[in-house]
Amino acid sequence: MPPHSSHLFQLFDVGYFSPLKKVYNKEIESMIRNNIIHISKEDFIPTFLTAYQASITEKNILGGFRGTGLNPLNPEAVISKFDIRLKTPSPPNSQPDTAESWISKTPKTVIKATAQSILIKDRIMNHPDSSPTKSCDAIDQFAKGSLIVIHKLTLLRT
């Protein structure tokens, strides 16, 4: 059941409360047009009673059964009101999610550079049909150079 849709197949919402709400709102609008801007408890009862008597009719009750697809039995009466958008499922993730996902950008700290090189090596090691040793050696050399540059940059800034 889609979120916020239960009112579509609940008999009292369809055949009772919805018509009552519409008629009551019309009564209130009529009072506003007559320059009544405050409704006291004494004004509420007659206004509500008028709305109740106008909305609780055999026609509305039967319409509630029809609208909810109960009588005659018609599940399509409710299903057709849903705004259903089918989604294509995402392919299963071949790599386990890590606590810190890698985003392709230049690392600014030693910790981020180390984390990225470890993540890249793990992905290479777990990738099927690859010879990881040469790639991992190259990553280790690149990571060493990056760490040296980041350390020197940190010393220059301080």
The residue among 25, 56, 79 that closes a domain is: 79
Residue with tokens 């981020």: 112
**Which domain covers residue 44, as residue numbers?**
6-79
> Does 117 lie in the same domain as 72?
no
Give the integer Cα–Cα distance in Å for 68 and 9.
5
Residues 84/78, Cβ–Cβ less than 8 Å: no
Q: In this structure, what DSSP letter does residue 96 have?
A: P
- Has residue 1 been placed in a domain? no
Per residue in 131-154, pLDDT tens?
666 667 777 777 787 888 888 888
Question: What contacts 149, CB < 8 A, 6 or more positions away?
Answer: none
Per residue in 41-100, pLDDT tens?
888 999 999 999 999 999 988 988 888 888 888 888 777 777 666 666 666 655 544 545
Total structural domains within the chain: 2
- Has residue 142 been placed in a domain? yes
Concatenate the DSSP letters of all residues of 58-82 into one string: HHHHHHHHHHTTTTTT-THHHHTTS
Question: What contacts 152, CB < 8 A, 6 or more positions away?
Answer: none
Most confident of 24-38, 71-85, 96-110: 24-38
- What pLDDT is attached to residue 76? 80
- Has residue 71 been placed in a domain? yes
